[in-house]
Amino acid sequence: MSGILKKTIIILTSLFFISWLIATIISSFSQTSNYGNVALIPIKGMITSDGENIFSTATTSASSIVEKLDQIKKDKAINAVIFEINSPGGGPVASEEIAKAIEELNKTTVAWVREVAASGAYWVAAGTDKIFASRISILGSVGVLSSNLGFSEFLEEHNVSYNRLVAGEYKDLASPLKKMSEEEKNLLQEKIDLIHEYFLNEIIRLRNIDEILRKEIGSAMIYTGMESLELGLIDEIGTKKDVVEYLEEELNTTITIKSYEDKKSFLELLSGLFSSREFQIKSFLNEKNNVIST
C-alpha cells in the first residue's frame, strides 16, 4: 500500500469519526419533542439528593425530578407522565422525595421499567398509578443497606494506630478504622430496621399489597417481571408501545411525548461514547459502601 493511499485512508477515517462525534453530540443535546401532552421523565442510575456521584456519570437528582414535577403540575397541556426507570436505587430520602412528589401529582402517572427498578427505584415506581415492566426486568430488593469495610485488623498488622478523639460516644460508630463492638452493631441495626420497616410499609400502602406477602417482599429479594406480576409488584408486562396504548385509551386521545431528559454535559457525552452505561444485575448487588441506602 502506497504512502498516499495510507494518508488518504487515515484522513477519511478521521473525518468520518469527527462527523459521527458531532452528530452524536447534537442528537444527545436535542429532546424528543418540545411539545406534547404526555411528559417522559427518565429515572436512570443512582438516585441521589442532588445528582452528584463521583463513581458514575449516570445519576438521578431528586431535587431536579421534584422541580420538573412542580412545573408539570402547573402545565395544563400535560395530561400524564411516564417515568422511564432503569436504576438500582439510591438514598432513602431522595427516593422518598420523588415517590411523594409523584403521589401528589394531579396527573395520570405510569412507570415503565426497562432493565432494573430495584430498591429506591422501585419505591419511585410504586408511587405511580400503574407499573409496566418486561418479563425479564429486575424489580424488588425492598431492603436497606449500610455495610462498610473494616480496616482495624489491617492497621494493627502494620503497626498503625487509630487515635480516637470524639465528642459523643457514638460519633465514630461506623468508622472503618476501628472494630465495631456488638453494642454498636446492634444500635446501627436498630436504625436500619426502622428505615426498612418504613420503606416496606410505604410499598405495601402504595401497591395495596396483602399483608400475607410482607415477609416475602421485605426479604429484599429481587424478582423478574413475571414474578413481580404474580406478587402484585407490577400491573402489566409490556413495552413503551404498551404504555402508549394504555395512556391513549385512558386519556381517550392520541398522545405526543415531551421529553424531560436533562441535557448532558460535553464530558458526559464523551464518557458515554467509550463506555457502556447499561445496568445489569451486578450493578445493584454490588451496592453503595459505607452509607445507608435503599
pLDDT one-digit tens code per residue, 213-257:
999 999 999 999 999 999 999 999 999 999 999 999 999 999 999
Query: Number of C-alpha atoms within 13 angstroms, CB side, residue 204?
Result: 15
Question: Would you kindly state where each structural domain of the chain is located, as residue ranges?
Answer: 1-30, 32-143+197-285
Say which residue the cell 400502602 belongs to.
205
Can you give the pTM of this predicted structure? Answer: 0.77
Report pLDDT digits (tens) over 125-160: 999 999 999 999 999 999 998 877 787 778 778 888
The single residue of 7, 171, 185, 191 carrying the catalytic annotation is: 171
For a pLDDT cut of 70, what percent of the chain falls above it? 75
The Cα–Cα gap between 212 and 210 comes to: 5
Reported as a pLDDT band with limits 50, 70 and 90, residue 273 is: very low
> Known catalytic residue: 185?
no
Phi, psi of 117 (to 5 degrees): -140, 80
288 pLDDT above the threshold of 60: no
Instruction: Please tell me the predicted confidence (pLDDT) of residue 84.
Output: 97
> Known catalytic residue: 119?
yes
Report pLDDT digits (tens) over 30-81: 444 467 899 999 999 999 988 665 554 578 999 999 999 999 999 999 999 9
The single residue of 87, 119, 134, 293 carrying the catalytic annotation is: 119
Domain 32-143+197-285 carries which CATH code?
3.90.226.10
